Amino acid sequence: MKSIKIIFLFLVAGWQAAAQTINKDVAYGNDPKQKMDVYLPENAKGKTPVIILIHGGSWIGGDKINMTHWLKPLQSGFPDYAIFDINYRLASRQNPANIWPAQIDDVDKAVAFIKDKAREYKINKKQLILLGESAGAQLALVEAFNHDPEHAVKVVVDLFGPTDMADLYTAHHDLAILMNGTPTAIPNVYADASVLGHVDKKSPATIIFHGTADPIVPIRESDSLNVKLKNANVPVNYITYPGKGHGWSGNEILDTYSKTVAFIKEQMK
């Protein structure tokens, strides 16, 4: 284990972050959670593509800081890309206003804000890449597949994200708090929060990562998305890590970084 950590640190240190302009806690709304960190490449030629990072945390926790481990590999692989790391409102029993769809509404709002800033940030608002982990992956998928009529999202990076909220409810009944009801009571709400029913031939290219021993999000959810994408002839790469749970480190995370960069490069040619 120690040797793996040493190799991991050595390789991470080898990634060189590109020169950039950093703007922390840029507000895209009035709520304290509606903030993002903006990483703009210096001396970018023309309008640069955009990578948007979305953290996980079961829609009730987490923070954009949890996604900063992606910065070095992404900036090394894409020195001319802009990166936006967003926060969003979190659901709680104490604040009913933040139940679903507050989270996806915030992602909608953040994406709209980024597009509106295209001229100022010198970005290409029609070349978006969404990368999310867990609940953040669900938000990335729903945004890209269900909420993007202009097809501005070209690639989705899905790390162990739920794809069928009704199915997830069977494993986690407390999901009814977030959704404000059960799948039986509000089937349309669950369907709208699930990506499986929204896959078609125009869906964005997607790379999926999942641990086979994930105790939080059943791997069958990624299995189902992979099949749907293949049947629709959408470019997809599905990577599973035997015996790994809801996240991983060491050699596996290095593999995730490298495969993500390679997939994005292939799709953004």
Start-end of H helices in the chain: 2-14, 71-77, 102-116, 118-121, 135-146, 165-171, 175-179, 187-192, 220-231, 250-267
**Percent of all residues in the chain with a pLDDT value above 90, rounded to a whole number:** 88
Alpha carbons 37 and 15: distance in angstroms, whole number: 20
pLDDT at 95: 75
H helix or E strand, kind and range, residue 123: strand 123-133
Q: What is the CATH number of the domain that holds 238?
A: 3.40.50.1820
Angle at 107 between CA 102 and CA 109, to 5 degrees: 90
The residues, any chain, with a CB within 8 Å of residue 128's CB and separated by 6 or more, are 49, 50, 52, 111, 114, 152, 153, 154
pTM of this prediction exceeds 0.75? yes
pLDDT in tens, 54-81: 999 999 999 999 999 999 999 999 999 9
Q: What is the Cα–Cα distance from 178 to 200, expressed in whole angstroms?
A: 27
Distance CA 31, CA 35 (A): 8
Residue 154 has pLDDT above 60, yes or no: yes
pLDDT at res. 2: 36
| Total domain count, the chain | 1
Contacts of 160 (CB under 8 A, 6+ apart): 133, 134, 137, 209, 210, 211, 214, 216, 217, 222, 246, 247
Percent helix, strand, coil in the chain, to 5, is: 40, 25, 35
The range of the structural domain enclosing residue 114 comes to: 2-267
Condensed to tens digits (0 to 9), the pLDDT of residues 94-129 reads: 777 799 999 999 999 999 999 999 999 999 999 999
